[in-house]
Amino acid sequence: MAAEFRGIEVFGRAPRRRAAPPRRAAARPRVRRVRLGLLAAFAGLVTVIVTVSGILTSMAGRYEPGILLAYLATGTSVVAVLCGATAVVTGRGRRWGVIGILLGILASPPVLTRLLDWASGLG
C-alpha cells in the first residue's frame, strides 16, 4: 500500500545532495557602490554654484533671476541632503554622502538667510 501513495512525504528521507563548492565573491567595481554618494556630492556642489550665482545676480540688481536661482538652489539642496542621507544609511558612498549633506545644508538659501539675519544682529 505504501508504494501506491503519491502524496507529500513530510517525514520521509530526502535524497542526499552533494555539497556545492563554496563560491568566490565576484569582484564588483567600486564605482557602482559609490554612485549615490557621488550624486549627493554633485548636487551639493551644484547648490553652492547656483547659490553664489544667485547672490551675484541679485547684487547686480536683477532680482527676478536671483529669486529663481534661489528656488533652484533650494531644490538642489533638498536633493543633496536626501541623496546624501540615503547614501549614508545604505552604505553607497558614505563619505561622499556626508559631503553632499554638508554642502546641501550650508549652501541652502533659507539657511544662509537665517545665518545672515542672526549675524546682522551681532554688530
pLDDT band, very low/low/confident/very high, at 47 (cuts 50, 70, 90): very high
121 assigned to some structural domain: no
* DSSP output for 40-58: HHHHHHHHHHHHHHHHHHH
**Domain enclosing residue 56, as ranges:** 32-116
Q: For residue 72, what is the DSSP state?
A: H
Any domain includes 18: no
pTM above 0.75, yes or no: no
Is residue 15 in a domain? no
Is residue 122, in this structure, part of any structural domain at all?
no
* Residue 87 within any structural domain of the chain: yes
Summarize pLDDT for 78-116 with one digit per residue, the tens: 999 999 999 999 999 999 999 999 999 999 989 988 888
Write out pLDDT tens, residues 1-43.
Answer: 556 656 666 666 666 677 777 777 666 655 567 899 999 999 9
Residue with cell 568566490: 24
C-alpha 95/C-alpha 92 separation (Å) is 9
Over residues 55-66, mean pLDDT: 92
Please count the structural domains in the chain: 1
Residue 117 dihedral angles phi and psi, to the nearest 5°: -65, -45
Closest CA to 98 of 77, 110, 84: 84
Q: Is 13 contained in some domain?
A: no
* 10 domain residue, yes or no: no
Residue 8 lies in a domain: no
Neighbouring C-beta atoms of residue 45, cutoff 10 Å: 17
Q: Name the DSSP letter for residue 66.
A: H
